[in-house]
Amino acid sequence: MIMLNPFPDLLIYGFTALFVLRVTLGLMFISFAYEKLFRERASRIAFFDKISLRPPMLYFSIVSGLELVAGILLTIGLFTQIAALVTGVIMTLATIIKWRRPTALPQNTIEFYILLAIVSFVLVSTGAGAFAFDFPF
């Protein structure tokens, strides 16, 4: 029998790998929300005004709130698919903004936003993984 996988014994940890992806993504979104709310508030409000989303304070509040709530839900593993769908949409929109206006989001690359969108959509399709409240029974 030919084995194409050099480490077949590691495949039993796939469920734990989803846990690592979920918690990492959740902590990243909590960090994004923290930065927006406490360190970059004025520049982020100006960003929404710059891309013609008015009133900018409303969009700032919605995006920051969604990032914070989705990040917390992902971290604890509650309503994971819904939270991951929200983060996936946010990152898809960030990708589009970065692609159309490269200087609008100077702190990260378009590849970073694409990667986070893909990780989010993987969690939508696979679920929370281990150590979650919405563990499949």
54 class by beta-carbon count within 10 Å (0-12 exposed, 13-18 middle, 19+ buried): exposed
- Number of structural domains, the chain? 1
What pLDDT is recorded for position 1? 62
Does residue 4 lie in a domain region? no
CB of 33 closer than 8 Å to CB of 86: no
What pLDDT is recorded for position 88? 98
Does residue 7 lie in a domain region? no
For 43-89, how does the pLDDT look when each residue is reduced to its tens digit (9 = 90+)?
999 999 999 999 999 999 999 999 999 999 999 999 999 999 999 99
What pLDDT is recorded for position 135? 62
Helix (H, G, I), strand (E, B) or coil at 82: helix
pLDDT at 136 over 70: no
Which of 67, 75, 70 lies closest to 44, judged by CA? 67
Does residue 13 lie in a domain region? no
Does residue 137 lie in a domain region? no
Does residue 85 lie in a domain region? yes
